[in-house]
Amino acid sequence: MMERLDAFMARANAAYYAIRDPYRDFTTAPEVSQVFGELLGAWAAVTWAALGRPSPVILAEAGPGRGTLMADALRVVRRVAPDFAAEARIHLVETSPRLRSLQAERIGAAVWHERIEDLPAEPLLLIANEFLDALPIRQFVRRADGWRERFVEADRFVEMAAGPPDGGVSRAAIDAAPIGTVAEIREPALAIARWLGHRIAQTGGAALIIDYGPQSAGLGDSLQALRDGRPGAALAEPGSSDLTAHVDFTAFAAAARQSGARTYGPVPQGAFLTALGLYARAAKLARHLPAREAAAAVEAARRLAEPDRMGRLFKVLAITGPGAPPPAGFEAAASVAP
């Protein structure tokens, strides 16, 4: 059977998340430190207040994993912003029944959805941490006779004639690409961006997108597979590896703006978390822990923020309505209006 790369990737990742524990293969920021989720919970509460305290408000997470981020966020929200906690309705976007069960154990009452587009039509605060990178991509390769698209047959790529890729990097970059260049397009992510831009512009709210990828769009093959914590062959044994690719923040933000929203960033994760008080919170947490655990708490904060670790590789993008104030953590970032 031959199928387009995005269809193969969607099928492989659906099987992977249905049967495997992804945390054997990788560690996400919420699993590194509880402070990550706490800061994002505080961010949501501050953003809600800045938006005029809409009632009720949807507090949603896309790709909640084990539920760690939302559990940490709700713990701090219930303590420091009980008025926000009382108005927030918890919604989770998750397709895996196994992960939904883990999320229910940690979070409790929530409403689950298959797609972001299924979220109710009310003011929305959405957090998506390492969600977009696993969405399917298409790949195109520049050859001497023009562009070709990658399909998968068995465990190898097959190239089929195609027009120039549209929806990622600029047409000028596509036209100037040398032979052998790979271009990637993530159509499901662009559809989500357009939906979020329209939804937030119309009903209010904000979205926080945290993922890995370059500061600005570029060309190149970024598809990768992780199996048992190590890089693996992306096309071998579908469902045995986590398949991801770099997020094109430039294209995602542009799609959101085309639907009427305003965007901020992307900014490096380290700068964003530091602006929210990462090190101060980690130091406060450490003061109440035994020496070894205290050192681990501070080290975890450094892992999240230092440039040569997660601090620069991961970026943060905010989407707001056209008249909303700059969200917390983005006061120094330039905004782009629709």
Per-residue pLDDT of the chain (338 residues), as tens digits, is 899 999 999 999 999 887 776 666 668 999 999 999 999 999 999 999 999 999 999 999 999 999 999 999 999 999 999 999 999 999 999 998 989 999 999 999 999 999 999 999 999 999 999 999 999 999 999 999 999 999 999 889 999 999 989 887 888 889 899 999 999 999 999 999 999 999 999 999 999 999 999 887 789 999 999 887 788 899 998 888 899 999 999 999 999 999 999 999 999 999 999 999 999 999 999 998 999 999 999 999 999 999 999 989 999 999 999 989 999 999 876 667 67
In the prediction, which pLDDT does 263 show? 97
Preceding amide of 325 cis, omega within 30: no
In the prediction, which pLDDT does 47 show? 97
In the prediction, which pLDDT does 299 show? 94
Which residues lie across from 141 on neighbouring strands? Answer: 148, 182
In the prediction, which pLDDT does 23 show? 64
In the prediction, which pLDDT does 201 show? 97
pTM: 0.94
Residues 142, 146: Cα–Cα separation, whole Å = 6
| Contacts (Cβ under 8 Å, ≥6 apart) of 75 | 38, 41
Domain ranges of the chain: 25-135+185-336
C-beta of residue 65 within 8 angstroms of C-beta of residue 98 = no
Task: List b or e across 310-324, with b for residues whose CB sees 16 or more CB atoms inside 10 angstroms.
Answer: bbbbbbbbbbbbeeb
Which residues lie across from 93 on neighbouring strands? Answer: 62, 113
What's the CATH class of domain 25-135+185-336?
A: alpha beta
Amino acid at residue number 186: R
Strand 2-4 relative to strand 146-153, pairing? antiparallel
In the prediction, which pLDDT does 227 show? 85
